[in-house]
């Protein structure tokens, strides 16, 4: 499994030309071309948006638990001839994004083979989902060691960027392209979950699992140790209302009401909140070293009109594993050709391996590289 589907969804984009004269197509995937023009357009959009680059950097950092960093978009040549100059993409960036673009094309082909299409309503949902994903990423990165690094947060005020702020800095056509992919990938997940992606399919799933989408009011207490959580549970057993006990926890707050799948997403996956009886305080729940006590105080049915977005997310999650398996199989059995300027397709690894050293004729502004080497050598000599 080379990549998670979320990375396919998030790391969307293209590559820039590494030479003045290049073939029309950067790659072909099972006979479908990835054109040079579309990739140049994408990389121009990304290069022109510091906010979008911060989002991509943050997504890579978070999804790899700090182990992955995206290469810079452009390298030698940027700014050499003033505002009208065309920057040269780094070979590492080219290979990373062309690899992602190949993955995107495979997803679109899988969807087409299964006759999966998207509606205007699904596109609207996908746009909101993409914006929400970006907002979440930009908020989460501020809580990490890179929170003060402007290459990740793009923040000088300490406030996270929102998805709408990030998307407003790239062309509408670029956003539309990402939205189309998110919608198609989401519909494919729903289809491979065995549910289907139509509104009728999703409503049918809801009716078969209606209690799982109840709106529950709940209280949580967060404790620094298991013994502290057990002591609080004992207080409840002796008659103290949990709302009072939770208020004294390391972290705890007033009761809130949300649909059960949303509550579940905020708790460790090992805990089945839907099975917790109403009014009962849970046993201590291990949450990476801290411990939680949870109480559901009430459950009421949720209408499908309100639950519909959450139903889609639940079905997509159910289909994620099957979708990833289908992508992996497609990667290894597809016919993929890559323009040599961008790298080589390795079918056994299903990845684009970037060229180690480009030919001088393939560099847009070779003198920029020579100047950089001279400068670096001079600095080394003076040190």
User: Can you give the residue ranges of every domain in the chain?
Assistant: 5-205+309-375, 215-300
* pLDDT band at residue 375 using 50, 70 and 90 as cut-offs: very low
- The reported pLDDT for the residue numbered 361 is 67
Q: Which residues contact 214 (CB under 8 A, 6 or more apart)?
A: 259, 260, 299, 300, 301, 302
- The reported pLDDT for the residue numbered 254 is 65
186 and 129 Cβ atoms separated by less than 8 Å = yes
Q: How far apart are the first and last CA of the chain?
A: 46
Which residue in the block uniquely carries the two structure tokens 């609080």? Answer: 232
289: left (phi over 0), alpha (psi -120 to 50) or beta: left
> Does pTM surpass 0.85?
no
Q: What average pLDDT does the segment 17-34 reach?
A: 69
55 and 73 Cβ atoms separated by less than 8 Å = no
Q: What's the chain's average pLDDT? A: 83
Range of 97-101, 150-154, 296-300 with top mean pLDDT: 296-300
* pLDDT band at residue 126 using 50, 70 and 90 as cut-offs: very high
| Helix, strand counts (H, E) of the chain | 14, 10
The CATH number of domain 215-300, selected from 3.40.50.2000, 3.10.50.40, 3.30.110.40, 3.40.50.720 = 3.10.50.40
């Amino acid at each position: 499994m080379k990549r998670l589907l979320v990375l396919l969804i998030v790391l969307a984009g293209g590559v820039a030309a590494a030479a003045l004269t290049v073939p029309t197509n950067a790659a072909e995937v099972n006979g479908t071309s990835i054109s040079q023009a579309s990739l140049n357009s994408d990389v121009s959009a990304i290069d022109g948006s510091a906010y979008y680059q911060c989002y991509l950097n943050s997504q890579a950092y978070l999804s790899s638990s700090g182990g992955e960093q995206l290469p810079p978009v452009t390298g030698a040549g940027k700014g050499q001839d003033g505002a009208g100059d065309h920057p040269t993409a780094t070979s590492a960036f080219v290979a990373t994004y062309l690899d992602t673009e190949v993955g995107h094309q495979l997803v679109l082909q899988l969807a087409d083979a299964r006759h999966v299409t998207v509606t205007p309503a699904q596109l609207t949902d996908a746009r909101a989902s993409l914006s929400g994903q970006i907002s979440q990423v930009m908020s989460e990165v501020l809580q990490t060691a890179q929170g003060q690094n402007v290459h990740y947060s793009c923040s000088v005020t300490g406030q996270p960027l929102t998805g709408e702020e990030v998307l407003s800095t790239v062309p509408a056509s670029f956003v539309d392209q990402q939205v189309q992919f998110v919608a198609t990938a989401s519909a494919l997940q729903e289809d491979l979950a065995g549910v289907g992606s139509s509104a009728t399919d999703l409503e049918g799933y809801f009716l078969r699992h209606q209690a799982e989408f109840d709106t529950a009011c709940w209280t949580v207490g967060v404790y620094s140790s298991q013994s502290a959580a057990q002591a609080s549970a004992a207080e409840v057993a002796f008659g103290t209302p949990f709302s009072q006990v939770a208020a004294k926890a390391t972290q705890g707050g007033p009761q809130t009401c949300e649909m059960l799948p949303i509550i579940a997403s905020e708790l460790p996956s090992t805990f089945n909140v839907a099975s917790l009886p109403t009014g009962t305080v849970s046993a201590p729940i291990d949450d990476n070293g801290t411990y939680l006590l949870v109480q559901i105080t009430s459950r009421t049915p949720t209408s499908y009109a309100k639950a519909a977005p959450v139903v889609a997310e639940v079905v997509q999650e159910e289909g994620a594993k099957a979708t990833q398996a289908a992508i992996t199989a497609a990667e290894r059995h597809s016919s993929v050709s890559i323009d040599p300027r961008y790298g080589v397709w390795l079918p056994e690894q299903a990845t684009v391996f970037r060229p180690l050293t480009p030919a001088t004729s393939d560099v847009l502004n070779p003198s920029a590289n020579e100047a950089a080497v001279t400068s670096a050598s001079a600095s080394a000599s003076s040190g």
